[in-house]
Amino acid sequence: MAGAAVEDSQFKGLSKIFNSTTMKGRANVGKATYGVVGLIILYNMVKPSKKPAAAK
């Protein structure tokens, strides 16, 4: 499905963790995406809301 077989030892740095040629790499990309979306949602839920300006 992903093309030719590739060994993990060929990759260096972040490409070793996030690559599109291995199932493990694609799973890590998906997990990172879910994590970032979750952090954005959590930030928007936790941040203090702005109070409306008091009318004179």
Q: Are 8 and 22 in contact (CB under 8 A)?
A: yes
What pLDDT, on a 0 to 100 scale, did the predictor assign at position 4? 67
Per-domain boundaries in the chain:
9-46
In 3D, which of 26, 44, 24 has the Cα closest to residue 36? 44
Mean pLDDT of the chain: 85
33 pLDDT tier (thresholds 50, 70, 90): very high
Q: Is the pLDDT of residue 56 over 80?
A: no
In this predicted structure, the answer to whether residue 2 has a pLDDT above a threshold of 70 is no
